[in-house]
Structure 1
Amino acid sequence: MEGDSVTINSGLTETKDDDVIQWRFGDENTLIAEINVTADRFTVYEDVLDGRFRDRLKLDNQTGSLTFTHTTTEHAGYYEQLINGVRRNRFSLIVYTRLPVPVIISNSSHCSSSSSNCSLVCSSVLNVCEATLSWYAGLSVLSSISVCDLSISLSLPLEVEYQDKNTYSCVLNNPISNQTTHLDIHTLCHTCADSVHCCGPTEAVIRLVLSALVGVATVSIVVYDIRSRRAERDQAHIHTSGT
């Protein structure tokens, strides 16, 4: 993974007195590290290739093994080991970008009382090569997509029933890691009966007006009752005074 450390072993337990060990990188066979036992010289060439290996290479003086620290995708490629001018080994280093957490959103702008399905989309925030985006129902793969094009983000649709009891998850993975987001149907999928917020604007206005009318009627009844009781008390007082 990007940021990890990795060691390419030379295959030697220790160097000989007359050994010259070289490490070369890429199609141009750029020399990046060298051990010359006779000259007692151990060199890491940090300034080559625009300094991509600066402060990231360590050379084992005893075995000639090469260690990368804080790897980046720039370090991916082919490495050759030469001992006394003869190529002994060739290695391929693959560095995977750390995966983002996939995001699940509802693809429906409003609820529908006639449809029994909820439309969803899972996507990766950042597109990466050699990664696959998949929908799972439990442990079973429903669909997947893999695109190695940094100009195109990965996205995958899914339709589920509002009352579906299955466990769904969206997984973004590469050969050595994965990121998973679990679907919460109750949060992302609503029917019109679930919440007033999903109803149409006309129905919402009608409900508001009806609520206001009920409130006004209630207040009027209370005021009328208070006035009636007060009038009855006043009449009773006048009658008593006259007597």
Structure 2
Amino acid sequence: MFCSFVFCSLCFGNLVVFGNSDAVTVVQVTEGDTVTLQTNVTQLLEKHLITWTFGYPESRIAEINKEAGNFSTYDDVPDGRFRNRLKLDHQTGSLNITNSRTKDSGLYEVTIKSKTENTYNFSVTVYTRLAAPVISSSSSECSSLSICSLECSSEIVGHGSLSWYKENDLWSGVNLSDLSSNISLPLVVHYWDKHKHSYSCVLRNPISSQTRYLNFTQLCGACAVATSGGHAHCCDSTEAVLRLVFTALMGVASLTAIVGQ
């Protein structure tokens, strides 16, 4: 047995996947999308008997008896997770799962009986919809070395990664698996990088990603070069404004003294 994408069409939030006998068709979607698991049947015949199951042990979730005109969904099993969200296509026998949720992840199987019998399997994974990560400063005071300490944090469910990028290069990162918690990834930058490089934090799962770009001025304050020793001194925005005001006042005082002479 092997895994493959047989046919996939993503359009307006609906994922339509056609089964392939003797294969497990992998389906990966974001929660809230509508998933349509479709057979190779183009038109149901009078003798068609179709059964849809989910999970292991298998729970019957839908059934079609074309000759009897029976199109039934059993959305109260196995635990009511599909309630009011299963729909059958009366022409093809395909199964629609609306407003998909992470609990919908698992193995789906359809058995089609007519003149012959065919079975198709679908391995469905529904991922949490990602929110953009948050970048914050963890520096408690100005650094004489002009270093700014940062943290990128996010909450993630399931497989994914949280990474810092310098331009397009991966700077640091952490891989996550089946976790649901707050994750923080530190970063230390020098203020002179402000006009040289851009930094971004990326939260990613197998099918989507969210990016937050570092705002140097907002999170690392302003930076001035000290007159003594030639060392850069990093300060916050409030200190920078006070310095500018003080410098302006001293300039006015000096100009007044000159004019008064």
Alignment TM-score, normalising by the size of structure 2: 0.71
Out of 108, 132, 149, the position equivalent to 1:101 is: 132
Classify the secondary structure of the residue corresponding to 1:186. helix
Tell me which protein shows more helix as a share of its residues. Answer: 1
Equivalent position SS for 1:71: coil
- The correspondence of residues 37-48 of structure 1 with structure 2, limited to 5 A, is 37-48=66-77
The farther-off stretch of 4-13 and 80-89 is 80-89
Q: Which residue of 1 aligns with 2:250?
A: none
Deviations 1:69-121 (A, max 9, x none): 100011110001112395511111110100121011111111122x2321111
Q: Which has the higher strand share?
A: 2
Q: Return the offset for 1:150.
A: 3.4
Matches within 5 A, 1:1-243: 1-84=30-113, 86=117, 88-113=119-144, 115-124=145-154, 126-150=155-179, 152-164=181-193, 165-190=196-221, 191=223, 194-195=235-236, 197=238
Q: CA deviation at 1:30?
A: 0.2
Q: Report deviation, 1:195.
A: 4.4
Count residues with an aligned counterpart. 202
Secondary structure at 1:3 match in 2: coil
Contact 2:159/2:179 (<8 A) preserved: no
Report sequence identity in percent.
48
CA contact (8 A) 2:191 2:234 kept: no
Q: Does the 8 Å contact 1:110/1:198 carry over to 2? A: no
Question: Where in structure 1 are there 5+ consecutive unaligned residues?
Answer: 212-243
Deviation at 1:172, TM superposition (A): 0.5
Structure 1 contact 80–87 (Cα < 8 Å) conserved: no
Letter in 2 for 1:96: Y
Task: Please identify the structure whose Cα radius of gyration is greater.
Answer: 1
TM-score, normalising length from structure 1?
Answer: 0.76
